[in-house]
Structure 1
Amino acid sequence: MSMHDIKKLVIASNNQGKLSEIGALFAPLAIEVLPQSTFNINGVDEPYHTFIENALVKARHASRCSGLPALADDSGICVNALKGAPGVISARYAGEPKSDKRNNLKLIKVLKDQSDRSAYYYCIMILVRHAEDPQPMIADGIWHGEIVLHPRGESGFGYDPYFFLPGSGKTAAELSSDQKNLISHRGKALTRLIENFR
């Protein structure tokens, strides 16, 4: 099966915002995008220390369980002064259960005495034609900014209220979802993936 033969694609996620964003970009290609919940697929462990390995295990798992081509992403925030942390554990930086509020509080506490608060969001997207695909399609995106100590904005999720974009003078949480999708790490990775697909 070539990439051009794909008519249905399972997304290794149940995140509604992510699903609608991905679905909109694939719509012009006449590809139906289905969440993994359609097939009662549970999440899979993400035991690796790199975004690429975790995304690949998610894509292969969703494809194996559904029998369809699958797309997975893995993303997080990387802070230069922390050697790339929180990185792959961004969603669970402050431990279980997952909590954006506790994650942000921990990050601010660690960074409050740092002069360098530069950071970037990173996203990798992996598409497999089948579970054992030896040549997955891979695209990534990076979104540069810096961490501020006081939150601003009501939109977005995760670290967005603390992720400041010097070029716009706003945090990610002060952008509309359309604005964010155009310039974010996930938006860039998805756009590159679609371009490769075409």
Structure 2
Amino acid sequence: MKICAATGNAGKLRELRRILEAQGHEVVSQKELGITIEPEETGTTFAENALIKAETICKASGLPTIADDSGLCVDALDGAPGVYSARYCGHHGDDEANNDKLLAAMQAVPAGQRGAKFVSAVCFILPDGRHLTCMGECPGRIAFTRLCGDYGFGYDPLFIPADCGVGKTDKRPNTEKRSYAQLTPDEKDAISHRGNALAELEKQLPSFLGE
């Protein structure tokens, strides 16, 4: 199936394309289709924002469309930055400023209280308006400093997942305490919030399309 990926985030596009193409789909980005619309994310949940993005770009592209809204929910910050993850610092898409603000907010939080999770809502929508939303999570904790690697984007250098992937589907405890940014694409896809949401979508899509 040819699917339009509703995102202008290069890192997110790489993950969506990598995972969906492995499932047998052809992925074209909204940029490749010449669509420059940036829907205003007015929802109060990840699922609401994913639907807003999917609906808008689906209407513009005329193709089945997939949109993800995701973010980091930190226990010590009562779930913040949550749906405001991309604009936590006050403006959209500044990864370094977002990470700086999170490190400052967590400066006095001890090791045992730095629990967090990444959450993803993936919405798949057809041009006739029917849509399916699947959720995925990945538990972990917030590092005290950036743990930069060769991969990742956003808050990935600060997030240490509880598990890491083995191959493309199995997982094991992340005993090395590597960050999302230090995991290889396969290691991350097998356990990530977006990988989990897309795996659930893959399960539900055949029956959804058969309706």
TM-score, scaled relative to structure 2: 0.82
Deviation at 1:131, TM superposition (A): 5.7
Equivalent in the alignment of 1:124:
121
Give the letter aligned to residue 8 of structure 1: K
CA RMSD between the two structures: 1.9
Stretch deviating more after TM superposition (185-194 or 20-29): 20-29
Distance 1:22 1:107, change over 3 A: closer
Deviation at 1:118, TM superposition (A): 0.5
Equivalent in the alignment of 2:62:
67
Deviation at 1:114, TM superposition (A): 2.3
Equivalent in the alignment of 2:2:
8
Matching of residues 82-161 of structure 1 within 5 Å: 82-96=77-91, 98-115=93-110, 116-130=113-127, 132-133=129-130, 136-154=131-149, 155-161=151-157
Deviation by residue 1:30-76 (Cα, 9 ceiling, x = unmatched): 53221112332222111122111110000000111111211111001
Stretch deviating more after TM superposition (95-104 or 83-92): 95-104
Does structure 1 residue 22 correspond to structure 2 residue 19?
Answer: no
> Greater helix share, 1 or 2?
1
Give, in whole Å, the separation in 1 of the partners of 2:22 and 2:62. 23
Deviation at 1:20, TM superposition (A): 4.1
Give the letter aligned to residue 88 of structure 2: Y
Give, in whole Å, the separation in 2 of the partners of 1:144 and 1:26. 23
Give the letter aligned to residue 120 of structure 2: C
TM-score, scaled relative to structure 1: 0.87
Deviation at 1:28, TM superposition (A): 6.1
Identity %: 38
- Aligned partner of 1:33 among 27, 30, 37: 27
**Conserved in 2, the CA contact under 8 Å of 1:69 and 1:129?**
yes
For this pair of structures, how many residues does the alignment match? 190
Give the letter aligned to residue 23 of structure 1: R
Structure 2 residue ranges without an equivalent (≥5): 163-172, 207-211
Stretch deviating more after TM superposition (112-121 or 165-174): 165-174
Moved over 6 A (4+): none
Give, in whole Å, the separation in 2 of the partners of 1:57 and 1:96. 20
Matching of residues 154-173 of structure 1 within 5 Å: 154=149, 155-166=151-162, 167-168=173-174, 169-173=177-181
Stretch deviating more after TM superposition (118-127 or 39-48): 39-48
Give, in whole Å, the separation in 2 of the partners of 1:61 and 1:144. 31
DSSP 3-state at the match of 2:32 = helix
Distance 1:178 1:124, change over 3 A: same
DSSP 3-state at the match of 1:47 = coil
Structure 1 residue ranges without an equivalent (≥5): 1-6
Distance 1:30 1:150, change over 3 A: closer
**Conserved in 2, the CA contact under 8 Å of 1:59 and 1:131?**
no
Equivalent in the alignment of 1:80:
75
